């Protein structure tokens, strides 16, 4: 018998957004939808979903208010909520995460990223539910061991066959039991770890504050949950989501600690790949527009704080379209990759080169000594791009138009600097191409 399909509720006041998300996710889950925050809360009260995709900007009740209602209700507070929003500023994302959202998806959506992220969160929710259930069963059975021999036998079999690591220690942290999956994962047999402390698995990659917090909670009789990076017998690192709880005996004293651990190494790797996809251009591996805008905002904040100079360069390639038309997009892609490498070779590690369109690039230069520094870098890029490219047995040439805008002289905000750098770039086109132009106020109305 197949397991029931996950239930996902989409809350958005725009029917077209619901339709796009529903079509994207239809093959991995059952979809419910609501056109307002109030309607969404009413549906959650009737039938608890496995995950909620929640629009931020809605009339009457916005996404943050809906999330606050969900988190204030013990029945709904653990339902994972992913915000779907067109807002990309860091403060909005921080506000959402602090309010209890598990993730952010930006509009316009990337179907592949949406499906992968939703699948990952659904899988995690199912694993956490199974983990919590097993943890509750184990704690209950260890506490009532004399009165529940039959249940203990069933549970013992479940633990022995579980795809989760189970470890029991005494109050001094000496290992008294590990299940077979522990041996499978770490390479250590029970005889090798019996009487040892879990610290034998330390990789040195987990912050010491994590272990301090762990023991503080356990010494106060509380449960602890967190992520620990451990090391196998053969030196391989792995990441575990770890739940540890004290076992209370009949006299109310701590007799043991039980740890249940879920190997999340692959999930971590998948999340890193997803994060990279969300922030980097697939073709050139340069930061994309979203990441670039974030870095500009951070750069402006630092420039304002330290009264330093910052520059934005807008770069448009000349003679690129004929290359695509004559030689095809495969050769065009090779040209763009070569352009990206040449641009990066012209800037410092602290600077950022980004591809924001087909043949459009932008560069952020931080902590400059003078406007001349920005113009010198721009000219260095122009000359580097002028050099012929030998690609796939062909000698190809491009040139560039580069517009330069400076903070604080040409603008105080990202919007102003971008507009002025773009205006300067178009002046470079008007003046015959293949040149660098510094923004001047008279260009603002051009």
One fold for 7-109 and 280-443? no
Mean pLDDT of 299-327: 93
Predicted confidence (pLDDT) at residue 148 exceeds the cutoff of 70: no
Q: What is the pLDDT of residues 342-396, one digit of tens each?
A: 999 999 999 999 999 889 999 999 999 999 999 999 999 999 999 999 988 889 9
Which token pair is 228?
A: 């620990």
With pLDDT > 70 as the criterion, what percentage of the chain qualifies? 96
Predicted confidence (pLDDT) at residue 222 exceeds the cutoff of 80: yes
Residue 89: the pLDDT is 73
Confidence class for position 195, pLDDT limits 50, 70, 90: very high
Per domain, the residue ranges of the chain are 7-109, 131-267, 280-443
- CB contact at 8 A, 82 and 118: yes
Mean pLDDT of 176-201: 93
Predicted confidence (pLDDT) at residue 284 exceeds the cutoff of 90: yes
What class does CATH assign to 131-267?
Answer: alpha beta
Residue 109: the pLDDT is 84
Predicted confidence (pLDDT) at residue 164 exceeds the cutoff of 90: no
Higher-confidence residue: 303 or 92?
Answer: 303
The listed CATH number (3.20.20.120, 3.90.1310.10, 1.10.540.10, 3.40.50.2300) that belongs to domain 7-109: 3.40.50.2300
CATH code of the domain occupying 280-443: 3.30.70.270
Residue 149: the pLDDT is 59
Predicted confidence (pLDDT) at residue 442 exceeds the cutoff of 80: yes
Mean pLDDT of 151-180: 83
Confidence class for position 146, pLDDT limits 50, 70, 90: low
Residue 423: the pLDDT is 94
Segment of 98-112, 211-225, 359-373 carrying the highest mean pLDDT: 359-373
């Amino acid at each position: 018998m197949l397991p029931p399909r996950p239930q996902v509720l989409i809350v958005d006041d725009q029917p077209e957004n619901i339709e796009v998300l529903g079509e994207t996710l239809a093959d991995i889950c059952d979809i419910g939808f609501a056109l307002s925050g109030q309607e969404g809360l009413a549906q959650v009260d009737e039938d608890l979903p496995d995950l909620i995709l929640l629009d931020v900007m809605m009339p009457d009740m916005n996404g943050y208010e809906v999330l606050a209602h969900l988190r204030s209700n013990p029945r709904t507070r653990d339902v994972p909520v992913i915000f779907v929003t067109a807002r990309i500023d860091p403060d909005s994302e921080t506000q959402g995460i602090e309010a209890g959202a598990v993730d952010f998806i930006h509009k316009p959506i990337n179907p592949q990223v949406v499906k992968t992220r939703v699948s990952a969160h659904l899988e995690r929710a199912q694993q956490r539910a199974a983990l919590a259930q097993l943890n509750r069963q184990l704690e209950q059975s260890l506490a009532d061991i004399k009165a529940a021999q039959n249940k203990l036998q069933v549970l013992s079999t479940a633990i022995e066959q579980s795809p989760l690591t189970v470890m029991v220690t005494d109050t001094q942290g000496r290992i008294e039991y590990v299940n077979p999956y522990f041996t499978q994962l770490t390479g250590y047999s029970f005889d090798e770890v019996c009487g040892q402390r879990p610290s034998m698995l330390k990789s040195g990659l987990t912050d010491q504050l994590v272990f301090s917090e762990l023991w503080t909670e356990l010494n106060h009789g509380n449960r602890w949950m967190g992520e620990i990076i451990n090391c196998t017998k053969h030196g391989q690192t792995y990441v575990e989501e770890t739940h540890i709880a004290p076992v209370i005996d009949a006299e109310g004293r701590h007799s043991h600690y039980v740890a249940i651990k879920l190997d999340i190494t692959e999930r971590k790797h998948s999340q890193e790949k997803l994060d990279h996809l969300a922030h980097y251009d697939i073709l050139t591996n340069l930061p994309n527009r979203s990441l670039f805008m974030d870095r500009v905002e951070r750069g402006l904040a630092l420039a304002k704080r330290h009264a330093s100079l910052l520059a934005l360069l807008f770069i448009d390639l000349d003679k690129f379209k004929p290359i695509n038309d004559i030689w095809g997009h495969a050769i065009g892609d090779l040209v763009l990759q070569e352009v990206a490498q040449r641009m990066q070779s012209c800037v410092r590690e602290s600077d950022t080169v980004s591809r924001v369109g087909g043949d459009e690039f932008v560069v952020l230069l931080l902590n400059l000594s003078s406007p001349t520094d920005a113009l010198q870098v721009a000219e260095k890029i122009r000359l580097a791009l002028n050099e012929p490219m030998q690609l796939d047995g062909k000698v190809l040439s491009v040139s560039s138009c580069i517009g330069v805008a400076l903070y604080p002289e040409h603008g105080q905000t990202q919007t102003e600097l971008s507009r002025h750098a773009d205006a300067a770039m178009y002046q470079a086109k008007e003046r015959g191409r293949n040149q660098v132009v510094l923004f001047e106020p008279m260009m603002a109305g051009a």
